[in-house]
Amino acid sequence: MGLQTADNFGIALPADWRPGDDVIVSPAGNCNVAKDRMEGKDGEMECKDWFFCTKKLPLEKVMKALKK
């Protein structure tokens, strides 16, 4: 299920990930995007540093995408 989720949403998953847990977002492609993420302008991401951000991926959204 984890590989399908990562493929469907274009994200990475932490060790011991379970559907509904936070996922890892790819690093920003440029400095402006990294700056916006760090300032919280995206709204749905929590960034620990410019290269490491996570976001919520609700269980319902995962299950709906995998049932297609």
Predicted TM-score of the model (pTM)? 0.86
pLDDT band at 5 (very low <50, low <70, confident <90, very high): very high
Count Cα neighbours of 35 within 13 Å in the Cβ-side half-sphere.
Answer: 3
| Cross-strand partners of 49 | 52
**Cα–chain-centroid distance for residue 68?**
20
pLDDT of residue 36: 94
The rounded distance, in Å, linking the Cα atoms of 60 and 34 is 29
Looking at residue 18, its amino acid is R
Is the predicted pLDDT of residue 22 greater than 90, yes or no? yes
What is the arithmetic mean of pLDDT over 41-62? 94
pLDDT in tens, 29-45: 999 999 999 999 988 99
Domain residue limits at 23: 2-66
Number of domains in the chain: 1
pLDDT of residue 42: 83
The rounded distance, in Å, linking the Cα atoms of 35 and 53 is 12
The rounded distance, in Å, linking the Cα atoms of 9 and 63 is 12
